[in-house]
Structure 1
């Protein structure tokens, strides 16, 4: 087995590759690292193929051209899956990551009992390009802050990192990243606890244009939601369920205020409840329990209405029992009602999670089974 595999995802980076690959090869030679370089290209319309063919004459370079798929994260995964090295290292093609730091990342992974090593911009000694404006710095910091529920690493969104092959294989079958932040996906899904950061000088690309856009930033938020669901599971689902329930209160009140001017109160109240219940269903179907949105719409909707009715019954029963059976709550009817709301919401959530929007297998069970199967295969 090779000591090291270096994966470089590309799209229209031919000009940068002519500089990057010789630098990487020189570093590998000087550090006496037995390695391969894998360029994973998304069928670029430039001269990437010709450039790689020429570079492969003097470098341990292999090109993978993807015809039917696009995206940096999936390109990285394709390279990781094709790699044969004991250590897997990923870096960008735009010359923003210094190849001279490769031996240090490899050494840290071997000597510090690390699960994951990052070429970091934000630890002591790390820097970003001086041309960065305040907006770019602010954007990067906010994105990093949003990753805090998953890792304490200072620069978990970096595209320059290394991971051991055996660590990667623990979770490679359950990876489903969205957008560019594959490093964060690996930290979470591979359950990397000891993350080491090596300071680097991050420089702006030399040629070509950045792939970052507002659309990619939205995809990053979608990615965070997926990771939140994966790591925290029912806690994550319940948090989203509760927040959507809160929005339903505002929808209910707004509809009631609007309809009360046009029709008698009982009908207005009923229509307001139905409207808020329907919007909550759509939001839960497409956000909280999005894994089940491919199932029959009408069946799910009717089941959801039934779960809401069940939750309302438990809400009422709890409120009545507390207020009539305990002297403490007799004078605190609002507190009893609040507890009733929590109980009703809890029953509603359980019915939604395991009946209305059920899975064939719980996510944790599926993930564990896939991981165990792969571990047995590699032992």
Structure 2
């Protein structure tokens, strides 16, 4: 009996791989087979699994993963619906495995999978908790990047170093290996914002991490399209804000407030143009300016602040805009009412009463629109790409 139990336990232990490779995907159909083959060759001497975390791709990515998984047992798939973002995808992938060592790599073949064994050797020797694939140390390179993109990356890297207070050469890297213990020490404090999960982990770790860097040459994407755009830059800045002051004020609220400030500028421009051209009296001009600013704020917040909950389709957008305007109208009344009360009855100066009203209105608008306009919705399964 004891022998049978022991044999059963050993069999179960063998089912747990020593290395889990986490690959976030979104419309990477053309790269799935290639990256699977490349990882298999690089880790042929190690017991490993590959976890694809897909954000509801529409190009057949999941079908391709399922096809490979039918013949390669070490391949697993996590299909996420209604959730977007590389950082949260990587986090969910890591939480899904019990492997003691985890590697994060992109599906687009721009990271050099051949250095993974060297990265893992530092973790296995217990000389590092985190090993980063670096483009900026001797032997590394940016491949075919143009001068402008390299300069932007260098500036973003400098900002990241300021926030993490580290001398990492490439804190913006999306290619790294980490121990289970190191990930567990930071996972509860991760912001989950944007695309820079490595920066999030480094800034969130409760204790200093022993870090090594391994050089690699960044390669050119062979298939699919880059997911990086101007919006990712905003998410990156919000991640830095979250790491700096997120324990005091939510980064999403700061984004919402900054966009609200831009809305004030839009309001004043429209108001001044209408009055200067004589197209409307003050009452009508103020109404048009208010409406324009609300529409501006809604669409910019939908694109930036709530990118992970973005409203899509005509019906969603119309109902979202309607609820946003109702909520903000209530906030405007509260703003005016509180400011007037403080100024008239509490001997506040005009500017302090005004600021108090603005703050109250901003908090109300942020909280209420989070609940009524950008609440988390359940989305239907994609009929075009069911695995």
TM over 0.5: yes
2:41 is the counterpart of 1:22: yes
Correspondence 1:218-229 to 2 at 5 A: 218-224=230-236, 227=239
2:122 matched residue in structure 1: 107
Q: Residues 15 and 283 of structure 1: is their aligned pair in 2 closer, same or farther, counting only changes over 3 Å?
A: same
Correspondence 1:10-89 to 2 at 5 A: 11=28, 12-13=30-31, 14-26=33-45, 28=46, 35-40=47-52, 42=54, 43-44=60-61, 56=72, 62-65=74-77, 76-89=90-103
How much does 1:200 deviate? 1.2
1:241 alignment partner, one of 257, 264, 267 = 257
How much does 1:63 deviate? 0.9
How much does 1:25 deviate? 2.2
Any unmatched runs of 5+ in structure 2?
1-15, 55-59, 312-319, 372-387
2:359 is the counterpart of 1:349: yes
> In structure 2, how many angstroms separate the alpha carbons of the residues matched to 1:74 and 1:53?
26
2:7 matched residue in structure 1: none
> In structure 2, how many angstroms separate the alpha carbons of the residues matched to 1:239 and 1:343?
23
8 Å Cα contact 2:52-2:78 kept in structure 1: yes
8 Å Cα contact 2:157-2:172 kept in structure 1: yes
Q: Residues 278 and 318 of structure 1: is their aligned pair in 2 closer, same or farther, counting only changes over 3 Å?
A: farther
2:151 is the counterpart of 1:138: yes
TM-score (norm. length: structure 2): 0.62
Q: Residues 178 and 358 of structure 1: is their aligned pair in 2 closer, same or farther, counting only changes over 3 Å?
A: closer
Q: Residues 71 and 349 of structure 1: is their aligned pair in 2 closer, same or farther, counting only changes over 3 Å?
A: closer
What CA deviation, in whole Å up to 9, does each residue of 1:306-343 have, x standing for no partner?
A: 13314653785699866xxxxxxxxxxxxxxxxx4355
What CA deviation, in whole Å up to 9, does each residue of 1:329-367 have, x standing for no partner?
A: xxxxxxxxxxx43552244213431x34327999xxxxx
What CA deviation, in whole Å up to 9, does each residue of 1:59-95 have, x standing for no partner?
A: xx61124567587556534532332112322123526
Q: Residues 111 and 230 of structure 1: is their aligned pair in 2 closer, same or farther, counting only changes over 3 Å?
A: same
Q: Residues 137 and 109 of structure 1: is their aligned pair in 2 closer, same or farther, counting only changes over 3 Å?
A: farther
1:6 matched residue in structure 2: 21
Tell me the secondary structure at the aligned position of residue 85 of structure 1: coil
8 Å Cα contact 1:159-1:181 kept in structure 2: yes
Q: Residues 229 and 18 of structure 1: is their aligned pair in 2 closer, same or farther, counting only changes over 3 Å?
A: same
What CA deviation, in whole Å up to 9, does each residue of 1:119-166 have, x standing for no partner?
A: 2222x3251154433244235335545656753544233221133324
> In structure 1, how many angstroms separate the alpha carbons of the residues matched to 2:250 and 2:195?
26
2:329 is the counterpart of 1:302: yes
How much does 1:211 deviate? 3.4
Give the count of matched residue pairs.
324
* RMSD (CA atoms): 4.7
Tell me the secondary structure at the aligned position of residue 61 of structure 2: coil
> In structure 2, how many angstroms separate the alpha carbons of the residues matched to 1:351 and 1:97?
50
2:267 is the counterpart of 1:251: yes
Q: Residues 45 and 257 of structure 1: is their aligned pair in 2 closer, same or farther, counting only changes over 3 Å?
A: closer
Q: Residues 263 and 71 of structure 1: is their aligned pair in 2 closer, same or farther, counting only changes over 3 Å?
A: closer
> In structure 2, how many angstroms separate the alpha carbons of the residues matched to 1:235 and 1:82?
27
> In structure 1, how many angstroms separate the alpha carbons of the residues matched to 2:344 and 2:262?
21
How much does 1:189 deviate? 5.8
Q: Residues 79 and 279 of structure 1: is their aligned pair in 2 closer, same or farther, counting only changes over 3 Å?
A: same
The structure with more radius of gyration: 1
TM-score (norm. length: structure 1): 0.63
8 Å Cα contact 1:129-1:202 kept in structure 2: yes
Q: Residues 318 and 89 of structure 1: is their aligned pair in 2 closer, same or farther, counting only changes over 3 Å?
A: farther
Correspondence 1:89-100 to 2 at 5 A: 89-93=103-107, 94=109, 96-100=111-115
Any unmatched runs of 5+ in structure 1?
29-34, 323-339, 363-379
> In structure 2, how many angstroms separate the alpha carbons of the residues matched to 1:321 and 1:39?
59
1:365 matched residue in structure 2: none
2:175 matched residue in structure 1: 160
2:317 matched residue in structure 1: none
1:127 matched residue in structure 2: 140
